[in-house]
Structure 1
Amino acid sequence: MQRSAPRLTRILACAALPVMLVVAGCSSDSGSDGGSGGGAGDAAAKGTATATASATPSPTPTVEPAKFAELPQACKALTAKTTSSLVPKAKNAKGTAAASSDLSHRAGCSWNGLEDKGVKGSQYRWLDVSFYRYDSEVSLGSGQERAQENLAKELGKVQATTGAKKLATTSATGIGDEAKTVTYTVRKTDEDFVYASIVARTGNVLVLLSYNGAGYAGAPTPDAKKIVEGATKAAKEAVAAVAAANK
């Protein structure tokens, strides 16, 4: 009974206090010294953690940077030695630049000419090169990916050339990161024109090169193998010019 007197005194004292104080200060007798009584505090802590997590910003989307920022001067991308050998009697030895409103993204140049060989007839040649550069954009993908996608599209266009015969597509090694060569013949002006078109990609730049020729006035049709060799040589120079323009 002596041990119960202090406890009874405390209970009576607490009974005289306001209800909020009783709950806060007098309920300790029934609990232990463990941690089971922190319900309200735990809820508040969880709420704060949730708010903090919600306030954390989402990572900013990123995309692989484009490899090349510039294009070469198209009419200077091929050496004079190469253009003169592929188009011996070009109307404009320096090449004719293609129209472009943005030379940092699109550029091109062409050469054409008719070499008169007298009684042996004449040989006609046409050479052109085009460059397309793609920037990296979060909504569209990296420049390299965009160039790859457009390589497939441009290749499809070449393969769908109207009137093309003996069409064949092969992989071209040693030209940029990837390249395809399309060969075919087209009959026009009563002559057979032999074509070699190369679609190549180097980084985020697409290089399109076409070389073709025909024999006139009794001259023989150009050898398809030589046309491919000429196109390959020019395409390699064009790809190298892209890298040189970005040094």
Structure 2
Amino acid sequence: MHRSAPRLTRILACAAVPVMLVVAGCSSDSDGGSPDKGAAQSSAGTPKEAAPKQTPTLAPGKYAKLPEPCKAITAKTIDELVPKAKSKAGTASASTDTSARGGCSWNGLVDKGLKGSQYRWLDVAFLRYESVQALGTGEKRAEEAQAKEIAKLKATEGAKYVRDSVASGVGDQTTTVAYTLRKTGETFVYATTVARTGNVLVILNYNGAGYAGAETPHDQKMMDGAVKATKDAVAAVAAANK
């Protein structure tokens, strides 16, 4: 029995060696050789695929409706600018989409006998622009259309004494272009106002002539009349969208 004790001790000591090696091995793996940690490092080093950029959605235009064109100019303004109008109710322009475009016109002749006659014409057109992803916001499109319309008016063939002025306090931006034009043997004076309010363009034309020796209307008076009627039209746009 006494001789076997040292032998048992040696057996237990040898038996303990593999256990320590296993522990040491596990400890080594957990410190830096772990397959999981290596996989994590490899994954972290791989660049992620870039997410596709989202195109921002354009906000809708300020106004969704247009007013009734023939009711956009007040009766008082019509009486003042187009005396003896053939129809105070006006004549509506044809439109296949009244939510996008519409217009109305008035005309009248004041016959003064031997003193001649005064002819007046007034028409208004409304154009509403919607926001389109490829073209821009409704406001931007209306602004671009306004610039083109003003340029076209200034380049009117045969026009003389062309001048323009900015009308403050009428919509977001308003310009009036005036000129004289000879036709049917008479000198006509034109005043056209191009106003933008939000995403709506208001184009108002006021012109007139004196017949049979009557005085030719003054361009400033025609411009003032055009601006007055445009104020009515711009207010009508806002009222239609309340």
* Band of TM-score, shorter chain: 0.7 to 0.9
Say yes or no: does 1:161 pair with 2:161.
no
Specify whether residues 242 and 7 from structure 1 end up closer, same or farther in structure 2 by C-alpha distance, changes over 3 A only. farther
**Alpha-carbon shift at residue 154 of structure 1 (Å):** 1.1
- Which residue of structure 1 aligns with residue 170 of structure 2? 175
Instruction: Supply the distance in 2 between the matched residues of 1:166 and 1:6 (Cα, whole angstroms).
Output: 117
1:116 to 100, 111, 114: 111
Instruction: Supply the distance in 2 between the matched residues of 1:27 and 1:152 (Cα, whole angstroms).
Output: 81
Counterpart mapping for 1:87-106 below 5 A = 87-106=82-101
Instruction: Verify the 8 A CA contact 1:130 1:209 in the aligned structure 2.
Output: yes
Instruction: Supply the distance in 1 between the matched residues of 2:53 and 2:114 (Cα, whole angstroms).
Output: 76
TM-score (norm. length: structure 2): 0.85
2:130 to 127, 135, 154: 135
**Alpha-carbon shift at residue 44 of structure 1 (Å):** 3.6
- Which residue of structure 1 aligns with residue 5 of structure 2? none
Residues paired across the two proteins, number: 229
Counterpart AA for 2:40: G
- Which residue of structure 2 aligns with residue 19 of structure 1? none
Say yes or no: does 1:226 pair with 2:221.
yes
1:10 to 6, 9, 18: 18
Counterpart AA for 2:186: E
Say yes or no: does 1:107 pair with 2:102.
yes
Which segments of 5 or more consecutive residues in structure 2 lack a partner in the other structure? 1-9
Specify whether residues 32 and 155 from structure 1 end up closer, same or farther in structure 2 by C-alpha distance, changes over 3 A only. same
What is the identity percentage for the equivalent residue pairs of Structure 1 and Structure 2? Answer: 56
Say yes or no: does 1:246 pair with 2:237.
no
- Which residue of structure 1 aligns with residue 184 of structure 2? 189
Instruction: Verify the 8 A CA contact 1:130 1:207 in the aligned structure 2.
Output: yes
Counterpart AA for 2:83: P
Deviations 1:46-83 (A, max 9, x none): 66x83xx65x5643521122110000000000011111
- Which residue of structure 1 aligns with residue 39 of structure 2? 40
Instruction: Supply the distance in 1 between the matched residues of 2:55 and 2:169 (Cα, whole angstroms).
Output: 38
Instruction: Verify the 8 A CA contact 1:61 1:138 in the aligned structure 2.
Output: no
* Helix, strand or coil at the partner of 2:237: helix
Instruction: Supply the distance in 1 between the matched residues of 2:74 and 2:112 (Cα, whole angstroms).
Output: 25
Say yes or no: does 1:208 pair with 2:207.
no
**Alpha-carbon shift at residue 130 of structure 1 (Å):** 0.4
Counterpart AA for 2:18: R
Instruction: Supply the distance in 1 between the matched residues of 2:151 and 2:53 (Cα, whole angstroms).
Output: 40
- Which residue of structure 2 aligns with residue 75 of structure 1? 70
Give the superposed CA RMSD.
2.8
Deviations 1:216-247 (A, max 9, x none): 00101012221111111001110000000001
**Alpha-carbon shift at residue 108 of structure 1 (Å):** 0.3
TM-score (norm. length: structure 1): 0.83
Instruction: Supply the distance in 2 between the matched residues of 1:6 and 1:106 (Cα, whole angstroms).
Output: 100
Specify whether residues 6 and 146 from structure 1 end up closer, same or farther in structure 2 by C-alpha distance, changes over 3 A only. farther
Deviations 1:31-50 (A, max 9, x none): 48645752223224566x83
* Helix, strand or coil at the partner of 2:54: coil
Counterpart AA for 1:42: Q
Counterpart AA for 2:42: A
Instruction: Verify the 8 A CA contact 1:74 1:107 in the aligned structure 2.
Output: yes
Counterpart AA for 1:39: G
Instruction: Verify the 8 A CA contact 1:110 1:128 in the aligned structure 2.
Output: yes
Instruction: Verify the 8 A CA contact 1:169 1:180 in the aligned structure 2.
Output: yes
Which segments of 5 or more consecutive residues in structure 1 lack a partner in the other structure? 15-24
* Helix, strand or coil at the partner of 1:184: strand
- Which residue of structure 1 aligns with residue 3 of structure 2? none
